Structure 1
């Protein structure tokens, strides 16, 4: 039996197990009767080999990010609680053996036996307000996903993951830095309010600060490179492909304006603006004329329905852009001569 479990363990780490094999492995590891098995002894040996000079804070952050990747690979298309909660401890232990997270856990006393991960995914046209275990508040934007542990440990990093857009009001705790992981970008605070825009397909990442101070870093090949310290009214825009960034000033009132149905766009191309409007209004755009892609706009829409928004864009184009709204199919077709 133990040999079979060891083989399953190796296959699991290699991503070669099917759901039935994973269930068998999780049930075995979750059984307290197997706590002293050779299997767990092997993990102790793996931990003992870790170098004492390891930067555990950084290892913990990177390890946790990879654990999330492993968990999400096996997570069903569910928008709520990870369904195998009773196996959560086993999942963490398995992934820990290969990531060095087990080493970090050994430095924390008492050692936690389980870390359950929760997640929330919003659909297009949807936004929600969430309260995290530390009482921090998150406003999650449309078409976004937030993943966080079911509880935070006092004195340890508060790590969460974001794909999409969210505005954070972080509970101050000097002993427990709050870190948001968004792809290769990392945003760290102690207690402040700020907005992150990090849709993987958009090619850009941005952080805008409303209150407090935020440290933004890039994670490249496991090494963190600090990009900037942001204070109220500052915004960092990072281009993922070019790997460069700019820091500019932002109106404090615009940092989280989308929470109150106000959307501000600055020198933005028409395709990128339409991409955002798709998420906000749960609508699909079809642009028939490619030269419209070169049009750029500065615009703010406050409490407008999509019809009113499109009419304002048409006027800003000098009435050269045309559009047709198909309400039944939630589609807007756009064409025209260009822009003003």
Structure 2
């Protein structure tokens, strides 16, 4: 021990390491692979520096030094490993809206999401820099994504995957409707199909472009849309372009929190182009009646929030 305590007698390289490691040594010995590898390195250094001839007394002192160095080295590696950050599982948050409800959310990266009625959004409690910013959507939402070229923003919605770096766009993805859509307001958006674990690129969209993806047929179409209509629903404006009446009713059900009862299949063939802005549900129904040439009839049960619809059809 005196040999080690005297820097003049001890190897200067080992003395500094040993002194620090000995002070920080823990009572338990570390037998991990890292510690064993570190010990092997020390032994190699010892073998390289060991003189060819030693007196018995010198060898005893050197052996004592080796014992302490080994113990100190194991303690040092234990201390070093204790300083490594412990992986923390990322928590996931979610928000579900009810019929007639829509909310504004701020994600951990400061991106803004307007979540539509009857929708669910799931996202991690934080995004790691340089990693994918992945979230999941069921329903409708308009995104204003913060630009980050090193961390692509990905929205998973059923079999459809939307990837951006920083832009604003709308996703409509209600599973029961059978058709999903992605419409771009600003920037560029890449849309892919994730089918049976295989990712297939479908299209790159720019402002004013809209992709319709058909769930059963697994095909899609791309069309143009007015930029002002991409997120019109946020301001209570709904635009329908050549949409079948049953599908219009599905959207109205969600946003007005009502239930439609169709008394005849003749109405399934009715298709309309219409825009409703800040209209009450009674005003909307009256406009639909007029557009049908007054062939569609309806009755609103306010107490039960039910609208019964019948008529001769639209042919």
**Equivalent residue for 1:169, pick from 144, 151, 164:** 144
Give distance in 1, aligned partners of 2:238 and 2:85: 46
| Structure 1 unaligned blocks of 5 or more | 1-108
Q: TM-score, normalised by structure 2?
A: 0.73
Residues 228-248 of structure 1 show CA distances to partners (whole Å, capped at 9, x for unaligned) of 000000000010101110000
Give distance in 2, aligned partners of 1:330 and 1:317: 23
Quickly say closer, same or farther: Cα 1:110–1:206, change in 2 above 3 A.
Answer: farther
Query: For the aligned residues, what is the CA RMSD?
Result: 1.1
Give distance in 2, aligned partners of 1:169 and 1:293: 36
Give distance in 2, aligned partners of 1:250 and 1:240: 21
Quickly say closer, same or farther: Cα 1:228–1:110, change in 2 above 3 A.
Answer: farther
1:290 aligns with 2:268: no
Structure 1 runs (4+) greater than 4 angstroms displaced: none
Superposition pairs of residues 85-234 of structure 1, within 5 angstroms: 112-234=87-209
Give distance in 2, aligned partners of 1:318 and 1:157: 52
| Structure 2 unaligned blocks of 5 or more | 1-83
1:242 aligns with 2:210: no
Total equivalences in the alignment: 232
Q: CA deviation at 1:332?
A: 0.2
Q: Which structure has the larger Rg over C-alpha atoms?
A: 2
Residues 192-239 of structure 1 show CA distances to partners (whole Å, capped at 9, x for unaligned) of 000000001111110000000000000111111000000000000010
Q: CA deviation at 1:110?
A: 6.3
Q: CA deviation at 1:112?
A: 3.6
Q: TM-score, normalised by structure 1?
A: 0.67
Quickly say closer, same or farther: Cα 1:225–1:289, change in 2 above 3 A.
Answer: same
Match of 1:49 in 2: none
